[in-house]
Chain A
Amino acid sequence: MSGLRSFVARRLLLGALQTVAVVLLVFALTEALPGDAAVALAGDQPDPARIAAIREAMDLDRPAYERLAGWATGLLHGDLGTSLTSGRPVAHYIADGFGPTLLLATLTLALLVPIGFGLGVLAARHEGRLVDRLVSSVTLAVYAVPEFALGVLLVTVLAIKLAWLPPTALGYGTDLLAHPAALVLPVLVLLSRPVCSLSRLVRAGMVDALASPYAAHARRYGVPGARVRYTHALPNALAPAVQQLARTVDWLLCGVIVVEALFVIPGLGTVLLNAVAERDVPVVQGLAVVFGVLTVVLNLGADLVAHRLTPRAGVAA
């Protein structure tokens, strides 16, 4: 167990370094983008004198490393800084966007895990037969349909033609829980791709595990099929699927821009998109910190799961 603890400690330390690297990378890349916040704000009226005035008002005339240092010092005191464009605290931006994003991610995940694993196991059980073929090809085809097309299709049929559900979450603000009907379509669209990728990985892992010598052994010794499947084969199939799941959660939390735009849900993806367009560097950096930490934690979680699963593979055989 102490091995595990030191593993976690080492990974957390590495994670902190990674987050710093992410922030530096994002800062460098944002700085390298053509134009800055002043140019973006001046928009279609790029009068050089006006841009210079905005630049001065935003303190953009200071060298980049000074601005980065100033921001980092603030961060050490728990201050994420203020937006260049509006002067409001970055923390507000993140807090406002996080609620809807978290809600959508949680709901999607709660449905994704049973459906994804269920379909994967179902296909693996009937490997090579009609059910398997059906699941495999349908998931692949659905995966190839762009999200926006699926979204538009669902909205047109379920919201506009049949009027069963509201077409967007427009005007509901952040209190989406009060309007559960508005969440159905976004969650469906969000589910469409992860379900496909997850179930395919689960199926592949399960088929492999069921075909492995230890499963054959277990069967020969009279272990019931269901037991072989769920206590021996499934855990072995999990490792890649868990990695995929971590990536999915990451994707759900770091902003699902298409779905947010299509259904007017003001989540983190929208905040990020706007911040990059406005060259609002403090907001972009604040988000980079949040995303960096989330990714590190999620990947660590996935690795821990894999860490626990992998030795078992050896024991079971």
Chain B
Amino acid sequence: MTTRRRFALGLGVIVVPLVLALLGPLLTGEPGPRATSFTLGGGHWLGTDFVGRDVWQQVLLGGRTVVVTALAATALAYLVAVPVALMSALTRVRWLEELLMRPLDVLLAVPSLLLILLVASVLAPGAVGLALLVALVNVPDAARIVRAAAGEAAARPAVEALRMQGESRWRIAVGYVGRSALRTLAADAGIRLTGVLYLVSTAAFLGVGVAPDAADWAVMVDRNRTGLFVQPWAVVVPALLIVALTTGTNLLFDAALEKNQTDKRGRRP
């Protein structure tokens, strides 16, 4: 498969959730009257949700928060984790490495949901706070994985060679080590995005961030689960959109990596 076709595939998969997320809120009208929850028919072509609202309308409204919060939280997690991990992988000062990585292990030892629950009930954050919190919970985990991938690259003789050639630390870190860890990072990012999505929805149910009946795909999957056998669309449609979003993001990542490496090496092994 050519890189171009891969791009096309990724775009094809991601375009539906993205368009729905970005344009959905513009397409919806005033909310109609509520019906009995978890029923089909009555002008609701995807049925009604757990509080009797039209599922299709919720689908249209529910993409934006997912895309914004989850993407922001994931990006933020890496924004912190990657520099910390690279610095710790490249430094030769042991205590600096320990100083960077060990405090993260403390966070790691507290189950993430418990941490969110506890911190959130003390600080009562809004949507922005929630994104920060979810990002925070993901930092230690992401940092360890990036650190491990970068550690392998940093130990290569090439790094030594670059160092001796007088390349700046910055260039080594970003240009060589960071680049080598990119694939692992991308693989990790794909699954992390999904994890973040559901963490946001669970937090919503616990009263953190968005409202428990908010129009949000992940919240919809979570809250409509009781009606799975009576009115499956309320779960299936948002779940498929999330799958499409994450799969599409990953396909695009993969394609971009491919292109990057093809350009660099000019051939595939």
Contact = CB atoms under 8 A, between A and B. Distances in A.
A270 interface: no
Interface residues of A, number: 70
Contact of B148 (A200, A211, A243, A276): A243
A32 B106 CA distance: 19
A295 interface: yes
Contacts of A223: none
B19 interface: no
Contact of A29 (B118, B180, B251): B118
B172 to A, nearest CB: 15
Nearest to A210: B269
Nearest to A250: B108
B196 to A, nearest CB: 12
B96 interface: no
Given A18-B106, A149-B221, A243 B145 contact: yes
A4 interface: no
Given A152-B228, A299-B108, A205 B149 contact: yes
Interface string A190-201: 000000110011
Contacts of A163: none
A296 B157 contact: no
B110 A25 contact: yes
A255 B109 CA distance: 12
Given A144-B194, A240-B145, A296 B105 contact: yes
A136 interface: yes
A304 interface: no
A306 B146 CA distance: 12
Given A140-B190, A141-B247, A295-B105, A149 B228 contact: yes
Interface of B is mostly: helix
Nearest to A257: B113
B106 A22 contact: yes
Interface string B236-262: 000100110011001100100010010
B148 A146 contact: no
A216 interface: yes
Contact of B157 (A140, A242, A317): A317
Interface string B96-123: 0010001001101111011101110110
A146 B102 CA distance: 31
Contacts of B167: none
Nearest to A205: B184
B92 interface: no
Interface stretch (A42-50, A86-94, A307-315): A307-315
Nearest to B194: A144
B265 to A, nearest CB: 8
Contacts of A299: 105, 108, 144
Contact of A144 (B151, B243, B254): B243
Nearest to B190: A140
Given A140-B247, A146-B221, A240 B188 contact: yes
A200 B187 contact: yes
B106 A144 contact: no
B269 A291 contact: no
Interface residues of B, number: 59
Nearest to B193: A144
B191 A140 contact: yes
Interface string A235-257: 01001101110010010001101
A208 B269 contact: no
Nearest to A312: B155
A240 B242 contact: no
Contact of A239 (B152, B187, B239): B152
Contacts of A288: 110
19 contacts: A14-B98, A25-B110, A26-B110, A144-B242, A146-B221, A146-B225, A197-B188, A200-B188, A204-B184, A211-B265, A212-B156, A255-B111, A291-B111, A299-B108, A310-B151, A310-B152, A313-B152, A314-B156, A317-B158
Given A310-B155, A313-B155, 16 more contacts: A19-B109, A22-B106, A26-B110, A30-B118, A128-B258, A149-B235, A201-B188, A204-B184, A210-B269, A211-B261, A216-B269, A292-B109, A296-B105, A310-B151, A313-B156, A317-B156
Interface of A: 10, 14, 18-19, 21-22, 25-26, 29-30, 32-34, 128, 133, 136-137, 140-141, 143-146, 148-149, 152, 156, 196-197, 200-201, 203-205, 207-208, 210-213, 215-216, 219, 236, 239-240, 242-244, 247, 250, 254-255, 257, 272, 276, 288, 291-292, 295-296, 299, 302, 306, 309-311, 313-314, 317
Interface of B: 1, 98, 102, 105-106, 108-111, 113-115, 117-119, 121-122, 141, 144-149, 151-152, 155-158, 180, 183-184, 186-188, 190-191, 194, 198, 221-222, 225, 228-229, 235, 239, 242-243, 246-247, 250-251, 254, 258, 261, 265, 268-269
